C-alpha cells in the first residue's frame, strides 16, 4: 500500500515545533536530513546527546502518513494544531511501501573502522574482509532515528574502540556507552572482546533501538540499558565512551570522570573543531595523556584517568 510523504524545509530552532505538530496529526514517522547535502553525501543523524538532539542548522523534514490521506485536509489539520507555523512550503508525493522501507539502506553500505571493526546493515551480505575470522561485525538496523556509523563523530569512536581492542584493553572489560543512541558503540565494544556493556540515554526510543540491535547481534545477555536516572550509581568502568555534544561534555565532566576507573580510558566525541580547548581544559584535572584526533570538522578527545 502506498503512503503519503510530506516534505518541508525547516531550521534547527523550528524543528521541535514542526515535529510535534506532525505527530499530533498522525504522522507514522518523521525523519530529518541535512538540507544542503547532496543525496550521495547524505548522513544519518548521529547519536543524540543526553538531553539534546544535535541537528544541522537547516533541515529537510520528511513525514510519512497512511495511504489515502488527503493533502488538503492534512494541511488544514496542521494549521489548526499550530496556527503560528508556516506550512506554505510543504510538498507532497505518494511513495510505495518498499521505497520508504529501503530509503536509508539505499545510502548505507558496509563500513570498516580501524583494523577489524565492521558495521553492516542487517540484511546486507558480508563484504570481503568482514568474513575474516577475527572481524568484529555489528549488524545494525538504526531504523528512522540515528546511529548508523556514517557520521564522523561515530567513526572516530569506532576507530578508538578498535585501537583499544588491538592493545588488548577491551578484553574482559565492561564498557559504558554514555548517550548510546542505536547502541552502535556498545555493540562494537562487545564484538571487539569486551565482557559487558552498559548503554545510557535519556531517550527511551534510543534504549529500545539499542536493545533491538543487541538482540539482532546475539548480544542482549551482555548489554544493559538505562535512562540516566536509572543507571546504577557508584560503578566505575575501565572504558567509557561519550559521543554527545561539546556543551554536554563540559557540563557533565565531573559525572563522566566519576564513572571512569583509575587508569581507565575515556573517549569524548561530538566536538566541533574549535571547541576542543574548552573540553580539554575541563577534563585535564582528572585525565592524563589527553590526545586529540580530528576527522573533517569533528574532534575526538581521549585520555587516561589519573590514579
C-alpha cell, 174: 565492561
Evaluate whether 35 touches 9 at the Cβ level (below 8 Å). Answer: yes
Nearest to 248 by CA among 147, 161, 160, 153: 153
Backbone region of residue 16 per phi and psi (left: phi > 0; alpha: psi in -120 to 50; beta: other values): alpha
Per the annotation, does 177 bind a ligand? no
Per the annotation, does 201 bind a ligand? yes
Annotated binding-site members: 154, 179, 201, 243
Annotated binding-site members for S-adenosyl-L-methionine: 154, 179, 201, 243
Amino acid at each position: 500500500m502506498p503512503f503519503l510523504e510530506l516534505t518541508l524545509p525547516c531550521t534547527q530552532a523550528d524543528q521541535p515545533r514542526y515535529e510535534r505538530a506532525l505527530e499530533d496529526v498522525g504522522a507514522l514517522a518523521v525523519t530529518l536530513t541535512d538540507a544542503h547535502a547532496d543525496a550521495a553525501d547524505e548522513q544519518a543523524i548521529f547519536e543524540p546527546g543526553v538531553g539534546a538532539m544535535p541537528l544541522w542548522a537547516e533541515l529537510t523534514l520528511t513525514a510519512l502518513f497512511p495511504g489515502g490521506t488527503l493533502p488538503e485536509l492534512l494541511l488544514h489539520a496542521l494549521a489548526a494544531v499550530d496556527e503560528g507555523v508556516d506550512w506554505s512550503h510543504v510538498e507532497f508525493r505518494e511513495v510505495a511501501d518498499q521505497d520508504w522501507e529501503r530509503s536509508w539502506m539505499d545510502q548505507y553500505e558496509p563500513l570498516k573502522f580501524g583494523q577489524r571493526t565492521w558495521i553492516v546493515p542487517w540484511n546486507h551480505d558480508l563484504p570481503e574482509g568482514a568474513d575474516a575470522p577475527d572481524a568484529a561485525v555489528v549488524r545494525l538496523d538504526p531504523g528512522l532515528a540515528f546511529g548508523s556509523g556514517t557520521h564522523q563523530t561515530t567513526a572516530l569512536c569506532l576507530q578508538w574502540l578498535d585501537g583499544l581492542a588491538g592493545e588488548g584493553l577491551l578484553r574482559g572489560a565492561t564498557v559504558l556507552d554514555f548517550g548510546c543512541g542505536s547502541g552502535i558503540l556498545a555493540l562494537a565494544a562487545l564484538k571487539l572482546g569486551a565482557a559487558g556493556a552498559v548503554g545510557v540515554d535519556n531517550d527511551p526510543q534510543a534504549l529500545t533501538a539499542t536493545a533491538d540491535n543487541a538482540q539482532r547481534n546475539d548480544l542482549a545477555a551482555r548489554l544493559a540499558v538505562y535512562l540516566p536516572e536509572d543507571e546504577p550509581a557508584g560503578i566505575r568502568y575501565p572504558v567509557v565512551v561519550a559521543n554527545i555534544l561539546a556543551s554536554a561534555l563540559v557540563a557533565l565532566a565531573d559525572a563522566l570522570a566519576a564513572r571512569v576507573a583509575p587508569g581507565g580510558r575515556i573517549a569524548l566525541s561530538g566536538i566541533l573543531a574549535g571547541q576542543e580547548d574548552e573540553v580539554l581544559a575541563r577534563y585535564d584535572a582528572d585525565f592524563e595523556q589527553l590526545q586529540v584526533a580530528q576527522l573533517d570538522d569533528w574532534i575526538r578527545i581521549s585520555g587516561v584517568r589519573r590514579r
